[in-house]
A and B are shown apart, each in its own frame.
Chain A
Amino acid sequence: MLPRRFRPFLPVFAAGLALALGACASRPTDPAAVAAFDETNDRLEPFNRAMFGLDQALDAALIRPVAWTYREVVPDPARRGVTNFLRNLRSPITLANNLLQGDVDRAGQTVGRFVVNSTVGVLGFADVAADLGTPYHYEDFGQTLAVWGVGDGSYLYLPIIGPTSLRDGFGLAVDNFGFDPVSWYSYADNPSWVQWAYFGTLLVDIKAGTMAATDELKASSIDYYAALRSAYRQNRAKEIRNGAPAPLPTIPNGDGDPFAAPAN
């Protein structure tokens, strides 16, 4: 749903980390403010806001116009075919993380989907497996770390990649260099334009799919950075839970029911 723009440009990531360490937000002292600070967990806020500004400029100048044109020009079924193809291509990443999470059930689903969609689904362009009752699911190494009990470290905003966290940014790098078949292909002395074309297509595909939701959030918020941070966190938590409903109520520091009627 929300931006899950992945693909690390590792140098950007490394430079970002180095910069970020020098630009930490200071922890407040008031207990209520500390609780809010921990809930937001954006220790790199000054750095993140700067990267957010850069990303928004890039987005307005290049990514959004391209994605918008793509949506206008390419018909719906063709775009769905591209999405299906890219999802099928990342099956090894999903499978590796299913297994690392000890989720044998979903690992089986991933293998079954890959076999059916790569053959009957013509190289993955048609999601036949979903029609047969096994819908697509998304896994990555950041989610695996979360399942293993690793906290997200801090919110992290990177240009191109968008909202992520220290944990999930690291997870992205592991997925990309370890489990991504397109990277394997590039390691084997094949032309590098293949990987760049893949990144480009992926970026446009994801942007075209998330544009409506992010445009809406931007229009309904005053501080879009803060609203996106909150929405990303919640959506990410849902991915980590594999879509299971959130434990309710989820709000800390309320007295009892957060939606209680006032005592008269």
Chain B
Amino acid sequence: MTICRRRFTALSLTAALAGRAAVADEWRLSPTGVVEKFAEKGITEILGAAISAAEKTARFRALFKEFFDIPAIGRFVLGRFARTATPDENARFATLFEDVIVYTWSRRFGEYKGQTLKVKDNAPDGEDGAVVNSDIVGNDGQTFVVAWRLRKRETGLRIVDVIVEGVSMAITYRQEYATIIQQTGGMAGLLAQMEKQVAELKAKVG
């Protein structure tokens, strides 16, 4: 009871201090809570749900937007190129980047074999962030080490990067896209290639 009340007080205090939109759920303020909720919703509402592939993709897009700060990831991935790109190019990139991830992940939903996410601990990451360490455990006993980087936003914590076995999704996209921009001579080249990739991925997801 005491713990509950104290937590509640801390929560209202945070909300009052922020002076902004009230945070609806307490788990949004706990790094491990956010990651656990994301995994739980992903497994029960998408991976394990008896729905069509198209419905799974649609639900994943909504879940992804709710839990990840996609614009921040996109800005990080583009890095210095975002500053020289036109507003129109940046907007097209944002749309395409979201599609690339949604369709890349959706492609594999049919292969889900009951893997679970075990959250281990969390540590501070920068001024207002946290990193959550977890294991993805398959039923054959194979384990992947996965770290989640989170940042505080007005409506709670948002995921900004997923690091699997030391490989960061954001850094890998950033370095790959930088190479493509350099080789094709600019943003237009990258956007054209992303458009082609999204079309191909969409065809595979069905």
Could you tell me which A residues sit within 8 Å of B by CB distance?
1-2, 32-33, 36, 39-40, 76, 216-217, 219-223, 226-227, 229-231, 234-235, 237-239, 243, 245-246, 248-251, 253-254, 257-262
Contact = CB atoms under 8 A, between A and B. Distances in A.
Interface stretch (B4-12, B31-39, B122-130): B122-130
A243 B146 CA distance: 12
B76 A248 contact: no
A216 B111 CA distance: 13
Given A235-B165, A235-B166, A261-B72, A245 B80 contact: no
B72 A259 contact: yes
Given A234-B171, A257-B127, A246 B166 contact: yes
B149 A222 contact: no
B163 interface: yes
A223 B180 contact: yes
B160 A226 contact: no
Contacts, number: 107
A226 B76 contact: no
A222 B180 contact: yes
A250 B69 CA distance: 19
17 contacts: A2-B167, A40-B179, A219-B107, A222-B180, A222-B197, A226-B175, A234-B168, A238-B165, A246-B168, A251-B76, A254-B76, A254-B79, A259-B73, A259-B126, A259-B129, A259-B151, A261-B153
B178 interface: yes
A248 B125 contact: yes
A253 B76 CA distance: 11
B115 interface: no
B71 to A, nearest CB: 8
B117 interface: no
